[in-house]
Structure 1
Amino acid sequence: MTGHAHFLSFIRNGTAGYGIETPAGIVDLSARHGGRWPTLREVIADGALDTLATEASRLSADFPADGITRGIPVPAPEKIICVGVNYPDRNEEYRDGQAAQANPSLFVRFPRSFVGHEVPLTRPPESEQLDYEGEIALIVGKAGRRIAEADALSHVAAVSLANEGTIRDWVRHAKFNVTQGKNFEGTGSIGPWLIPFADESQIADITLETRVNGEVRQRDRTGRMIFSFRRIISYISTFTTLVPGDMILTGTPTGAGARLDPPVWLKPGDVVEVSAEGLGTLRNGVKDEIVND
């Protein structure tokens, strides 16, 4: 069961917790182990995902899933590092005549810029250009610096999905940066679950698809990525130590709303779904941010 356990972080009755989702509901592991492991970040750091998955397989659900609000799988990660332009057709969208670069393009996001599964994305009043980007997310389980590509996947504890939502006109607010447009609060999402990483076949060549209101907008396979999962981990760890709970978003296929003619932005009432084989479907509505004067 361990390779298919559906770990999640949640808030229930105002209290944060974590557990495993089953067809019958939520097995509350935080109620049993919160003293030792306050969040899934500590579970990951202790290498205890498989232990808890095995335990949960013998337990009954503690409460139904419809009574919780889901958070991002790892609360308060030290780092969320994102890869840009990592699928061949996505590189062609830039129409700059340049071949794919020799190294990954990277930027960072703050945890507050993401929400969990079934929580609406927020369109801020500063811009209507809220866009979607479906991606595979890797969750680091073992710390490392200057990790060799051959060893890279041994540092992965789990996998999830992400919608790396972007405020497009705010990624061009200055001569050289994307930080602002990538970090508006609540514009992206991660989930629905944290799936323990079993082996490379789990992610090596799986279909990644994004739908808006049921219409397929993005679809590609991870086997076509310009920079492999191994390469991304190795490259990032050259300049920073990866630590348990760090999340790496590995790039999005072609088909984001900005590249449609004319562009199509997300608006309140839309539903965005990101799906991948073995990882489920991350689903979020869209709402406008309420700003109090």
Structure 2
Amino acid sequence: MTDRFVSFSKDGQVRYGLHRPEGITDLWAEHGMRWPGLREVIAAGMLEELAAGAPKRVDFLEEEIRYEIPVTNPEKILCVGVNFPDRNEEYKDGQAAPANPSLFIRFPRSFVGHLQPLVRPPESPQLDYEGEIVLVIGKGGRRIAQEAALDHVAALSLCNEGTIRDWVRHAKFNVTQGKNFDRTGSIGPWLVPYRSEAQIGDIALTTRVNGAVRQQDRTGRMIFSFRRIISYISTFTTLVPGDLIVTGTPTGAGARLDPPVWLRPGDVVEVEATGLGVLRNPIVDEE
């Protein structure tokens, strides 16, 4: 079975461990003094060793814990926009796919973990979904060559890159506001250690709302490959262990339906990719 690392809260303490079909094996109790979180485990290159040496017991049932985003304190969360051919065509501006990736930054506070509610803010009803694959950097670097780029990946995860659509157009040149409302997106459900390019080279990525498929494509069709994304980003910023790169969403977000269909309280969004599990979140209004 694929190793699945989770970060979770129990009794007010953020911990980490392994997800098993029966429940959660707590690794923080034994290793937390040395590596307080998964970011530190990744930086030490210890994911594989911890998985191999983990006890088989179950310490907590899933209903006893609260999932957190897998890397709870990343230095950077960088997101790629417009990275599938049909997504570029949605803009109807007549322009060919860009020569370089479009990028923006998100803050950790804008994300919640698996099964936790995404929060629609009172400022806007236009909460939308975007299913994406996440690269977790394991080995830092600057100006990383494309041929070596995937050697810098420690693990993989999923993201619902939730967006407040009208707020991405509050200014002329940026999308920061609409991408960073607290608790509007999610990352998880877990980290899967990266072992070969076959895990992500051409896999299915699907987003469902209330069980209905809204987005579906394959990573082999991405405009910018995972290698290109890592190489390009590392040109201008030093990547460090635990950094998260959210790699782009297929066509089919609610904003592009006619008429647009926004997420509402009671909806459930699921993001699924081959071998990476299902990230599931309900929608609520902010209290």
User: TM-score range, shorter-chain basis?
Assistant: over 0.9
Give the corresponding residue for 1:186.
183
Give the corresponding residue for 2:86.
89
Which residue type is aligned with residue 50 of structure 2?
Answer: L
Residue 175 of structure 1: how far off its partner (Å): 1.1
5 Å-filtered alignment, 1:48-127, equals 48-56=46-54, 58-127=55-124
**Consecutive unaligned residues in structure 2, runs of 5 or more:** none
Give the corresponding residue for 2:260.
263
Which residue type is aligned with residue 37 of structure 2?
Answer: T
The partner residue of 1:14 within 1, 12, 18 is: 12
User: Could you give the per-residue CA deviations for residues 227-279 of structure 1, whole angstroms, max 9, x where no partner exists?
Assistant: 00000000000000000000000000000000000000000000000000000
User: Could you give the per-residue CA deviations for residues 88-132 of structure 1, whole angstroms, max 9, x where no partner exists?
Assistant: 000000000000000000000000000000000000000000000
The partner residue of 1:36 within 34, 51, 54 is: 34
Aligned length: 287
Give the corresponding residue for 2:156.
159
TM-score (norm: length of structure 1): 0.97
SS, match of residue 117 in structure 1 = coil
SS, match of residue 162 in structure 1 = strand
Cα root mean square deviation, aligned? 0.6
SS, match of residue 18 in structure 1 = strand
TM-score (norm: length of structure 2): 0.99
Distance in 2 of aligned mates of 1:76 and 1:267: 29
SS, match of residue 73 in structure 1 = coil
Give the corresponding residue for 2:222.
225
SS, match of residue 274 in structure 1 = strand
Distance in 1 of aligned mates of 2:13 and 2:47: 22
The partner residue of 1:200 within 197, 200, 204 is: 197
User: Could you give the per-residue CA deviations for residues 169-218 of structure 1, whole angstroms, max 9, x where no partner exists?
Assistant: 00000111100000000000000010000110000000000000000000
Which residue type is aligned with residue 29 of structure 2?
Answer: A
Which residue type is aligned with residue 29 of structure 1?
Answer: L
Distance in 2 of aligned mates of 1:266 and 1:231: 32
Distance in 2 of aligned mates of 1:196 and 1:278: 11
SS, match of residue 142 in structure 1 = coil
**Consecutive unaligned residues in structure 1, runs of 5 or more:** none
Give the corresponding residue for 1:279.
276
Give the corresponding residue for 1:148.
145
Residue 59 of structure 1: how far off its partner (Å): 2.5
Task: Confirm whether residue 245 of structure 1 aligns to residue 242 of structure 2.
Answer: yes
Which residue type is aligned with residue 109 of structure 2?
Answer: R
Task: Confirm whether residue 173 of structure 1 aligns to residue 170 of structure 2.
Answer: yes
Which residue type is aligned with residue 286 of structure 2?
Answer: E
Which residue type is aligned with residue 8 of structure 1?
Answer: V
Q: Percentage identity across aligned positions?
A: 72
User: Could you give the per-residue CA deviations for residues 35-92 of structure 1, whole angstroms, max 9, x where no partner exists?
Assistant: 0000000000000000011012x43111212100000000110000000000000000
Which residue type is aligned with residue 9 of structure 2?
Answer: I
SS, match of residue 282 in structure 2 = strand
Which residue type is aligned with residue 91 of structure 2?
Answer: Y
User: Could you give the per-residue CA deviations for residues 5-42 of structure 1, whole angstroms, max 9, x where no partner exists?
Assistant: 11000001111100001112111000010000000000
Moved beyond 3 Å, runs of 4+? none
Distance in 2 of aligned mates of 1:175 and 1:166: 17
